[in-house]
């Protein structure tokens, strides 16, 4: 069922902050050997390195707001042109606005690529708030852990709290997601690429549903749009949540 490098698998992970995109992206990266392009991680690396972009972005991230579309589109444009993206990629954290989604469509046409699948991890707002408040992150590998965890289980590093996981930034992040990023899902639903996955189970349960969705929509199958059109709408994998984001 798995596929290796060279198949051109282009995936987009969509979901609210705290929905588990990073965890599933790590699984997909390890499984398929394609890069995980996480715009949040890229911005944090700029902040860490003290670049001009990092200095501009730092207060925006700390407040839970969005960096401008122009900057983000420039970042993703440069990143997708790098040779390591040739066999495919997993994008996480972009597009977060409809103008970003439109720019990504244009860029994909320029690059002669198309997405195989948009994985939507659905999680209720209450659960997102619970997960984000107090969550800890490994500064080395970016894995996240629940409050009280002492060290990273992968590399033993001391864990830290992300500045935007502090209580004052968590609610604005969810609010801006609901306002600006939820409409992006409709953009992709229209193209029939979306696989909805209930983000509430164990990591292993969710990973197996993600893999079923990805393998079912890969380039070796009929094109995603054709599948969805003939099925009359959006593909699903896993159960439906109640009030989800």
> Least CB distance from residue 164 to ligand ADP, whole Å?
6
Read off the tokens for 20: 């588990």
Catalytic residue from among 162, 180, 200, 217: 162
Catalytic residue from among 44, 135, 143, 200: 135
Selection from 237, 244, 245, 232 nearest residue 215 by Cα: 237
Give the chain's radius of gyration (CA, Å).
17
> Least CB distance from residue 175 to ligand ADP, whole Å?
11
Residue 161: partners with Cβ closer than 8 Å, 6 or more residues away: 134, 135, 136, 137
Catalytic: 162? yes
Site string for ligand ADP, 74-113 (x = CB under 6 A): -------------------xx-x---x-------------
Residue in the shown chain whose Cβ atom is closest to ligand ADP: 40
Site string for ligand ADP, 28-67 (x = CB under 6 A): -----------xx--x----------------xx--xxxx
Task: Say whether residue 127 binds ligand ADP (CB under 6 A).
Answer: no
Catalytic residue from among 122, 143, 173, 180: 173
CA 55 to chain centre: 24
Q: Where are the alpha helices (DSSP H) in the chain?
A: 21-32, 39-49, 52-62, 69-80, 98-110, 125-132, 167-176, 182-189, 203-216, 224-231
Cα separation of 157 and 141, whole Å?
9
> Least CB distance from residue 148 to ligand ADP, whole Å?
20
Read off the tokens for 31: 């499984």
Residues forming contacts to ligand ADP in the complex (CB under 6 A) are: 17, 39-40, 43, 60-61, 64-67, 72, 93-94, 96, 100, 164, 173
């Amino acid at each position: 069922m798995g596929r290796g490098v060279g198949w051109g698998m282009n995936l987009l992970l969509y979901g609210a902050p705290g929905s588990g995109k990073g965890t599933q992206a790590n699984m997909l990266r390890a499984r398929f050997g394609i890069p995980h392009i996480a715009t949040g991680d890229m911005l944090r690396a700029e902040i860490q390195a003290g670049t001009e972009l990092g200095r501009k972005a730092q207060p925006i991230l700390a407040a839970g707001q969005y960096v401008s579309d122009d900057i983000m589109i420039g970042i993703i444009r440069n990143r997708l042109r790098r040779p390591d993206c040739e066999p495919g990629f997993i994008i996480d954290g972009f597009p977060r606005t409809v103008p970003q989604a439109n720019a990504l469509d244009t860029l994909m046409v320029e690059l002669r690529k198309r997405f195989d699948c948009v994985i939507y991890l659905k999680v209720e707002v209450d659960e997102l708030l619970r997960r984000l408040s107090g969550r800890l992150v490994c500064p080395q590998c970016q894995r996240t852990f629940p409050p009280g965890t002492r060290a990273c289980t992968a590399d033993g590093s001391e864990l830290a709290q992300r500045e935007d996981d502090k209580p004052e930034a968590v609610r604005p992040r969810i609010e801006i997601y609901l306002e600006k990023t939820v409409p992006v899902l409709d953009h992709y639903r229209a193209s029939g690429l979306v696989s909805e996955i209930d983000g509430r189970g164990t990591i292993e349960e969710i990973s197996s549903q993600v893999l079923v969705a990805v393998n079912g929509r890969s380039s070796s199958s009929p094109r995603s749009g054709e599948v969805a059109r003939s099925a009359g709408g959006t593909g699903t994998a896993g159960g439906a949540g109640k009030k989800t984001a």
